[in-house]
Structure 1
């Protein structure tokens, strides 16, 4: 596996970090951590997420480069495992981004391979490349997960209630992301509602349909159904096009906190949608031509970073 990362892979990875920052910064966001409060969590806050993002900032460019190189799925999995270890070390054992390491990491790898094949960056091409390159491995992984003893909270919930896990979503090229979340985000942006409101709309659209095993783990199957029902009611009332949509969303937030519900899976999908949209804008509308010959060694020592203010380009 290559130890150098091209500038295009760096761009893909930086877009991933920015998308994850956009997700944690978003508010109102029912039950989830934001800069306003800790949502339904007592073991983490926004600073925990920022420490995690610092730890992961090299992972997304590396997996994008691995995708460009056509690395086998085992290599991608190894990169993800190393990234998870760095995340847990940075957060003192708190799982902030395990879902994003898997899902958004796969998308970065797929984007790298897409560029290697000289294809235009589109959602359709991204999904096709994911399936043609690693689809068989992902399907086998999902099958083995269904047969083996569950090793994560999400797998336990999916097994018990017959839900579609994150692994199942990946094996099907992320249908909720591309069929629900991304279209909702794009529709919100096209309406002129602004990025913040469009992201909230996309989050609620996702919560309404996703088998979010985080909710099942914290509140049982009734907790998941409550989340889905609240999201559908918000959308049926007009979503972000209600005059009092922020009050409505914050009331739902309070009801989730009271029940300890946190739709973390939906948050991961939203971050992925933000990433896809940002890459579409930067790589396509700007006519970006990937300079793959320009390489950077990610193992080269960097200046220590002690705050986000020292690296504004990570969050701009």
Structure 2
């Protein structure tokens, strides 16, 4: 019989949690190839940002992730977390000259940082988010002009809000298993990225490419995985070819990038 998953872990200081969240964003940036996404190799499908932009954003957000962890440690309600998130977003925009680099990560990774601050074990962070703040997330304001809200209205995609309310199933059921089955951390991150693209309804893809673009992206990722993914010889060239195809169509799975960063964060907290 399998032992029950722990729901609590030795308490981490909010500063350690904030540092881990910022590092997760930097680790996501370092992953390559990631179809359509910014890396140290190129800017993917983005003309308004590059690796330096995302690095500046990730470093700027560290104290806000720390504040969110401290708020979770203190039992804060969603209104307090939302206020810190808005401060983080304003700081991000100042650091990037008005470019939205990590709005989705501020939301999702911020909630996980708050859950970690509460003392929850890495395996339980998503469940804690859903139980403690899920109802308030569902009642919260929906931005009228965000890419996610537009995709929700047009395509019925739930986006980041639905993912958080459900306890981040895409992170725990898709990204983390793929991440942990590979021979190296870099290979695992690529495999997890492709697994997310193949299975998640990404509102960024829907915004950029519509339903046809989202179907193309999912099919390309699924084909990469079906032919062995990172476990097959020559995987780097095949993954790079998918990246080029995304760039040619201006497709960028930014939501999947956020979910990948969340998986990297949870995996780091879980340790070896």
- Do they superpose with TM above 0.5? yes
Q: 1:131 Cα shift?
A: 2.3
In the alignment, which residue of structure 2 is the partner of 1:185? 179
Could you list the runs of 5+ residues in structure 2 that have no partner in the other structure? 1-10
| Superposition deviation, residue 230 in structure 1 | 0.5
Q: CA deviation at 1:270?
A: 0.4
Q: Output the aligned Cα RMSD.
A: 1.4
Q: How does 1:124-143 map to 2 (within 5 A)?
A: 125-141=124-140
SS of the counterpart of 2:201? Answer: coil
Q: Give the distance between the partners of 2:112 and 2:216, measured in 1 at CA.
A: 30
Q: C-alpha distance in 1, partners of 2:50/2:130?
A: 36
Call closer, same or farther: CA 1:7–1:185 in 2, change over 3 Å.
closer
Once residues 126 and 206 of structure 2 are traced to their aligned partners in structure 1, the CA distance between those partners, rounded to angstroms, is 28
Give 1:127 shift.
Answer: 2.5
**When the two structures are superposed, what TM-score results if normalisation uses the length of structure 1?**
0.80
1:152-167 alignment, distance < 5 Å = 152-167=146-161
Give the distance between the partners of 1:161 and 1:278, measured in 2 at CA.
34
- Partner of 2:237 in structure 1? 247
Question: Larger C-alpha radius of gyration, 1 or 2?
Answer: 1
Aligned length: 262
Q: Distance in 2 between matches of 1:132 and 1:38?
A: 37
1:258-273 paired onto structure 2 within 5 Å: 258-273=248-263
| CA deviation profile, 1:52-86 (whole Å, cap 9, x unmatched) | 12221211111001001011100000000000000
Q: Give unmatched runs, 5+ long, in structure 1.
A: 1-5, 286-316
Q: Residue 111 of structure 2 is aligned with which of 106, 120, 140?
A: 106
Q: Given the alignment, which residue of 55, 59, 65 partners 1:50?
A: 55
Q: What CA deviation, in whole Å up to 9, does each residue of 1:105-162 have, x standing for no partner?
A: 000001111x1xxx5x141x22332222212212223xx63xxx73301110121011
Q: In the alignment, is residue 32 of structure 1 matched against residue 31 of structure 2?
A: no
- Residue 173 of structure 2: SS of its match in structure 1? helix
Equivalent positions of 1:186-265 (< 5 A) are: 186-188=180-182, 193-265=183-255
Contact 2:130 2:164 in 1 (8 A): no
| Separation in 1, partners of 2:43, 2:129 | 34
| Residue correspondence of structure 1 range 264-303 to structure 2 within 5 A | 264-281=254-271
Report the CA distance between 1:184 and its aligned residue.
1.1
State the shift of 1:8 in Å. 1.0
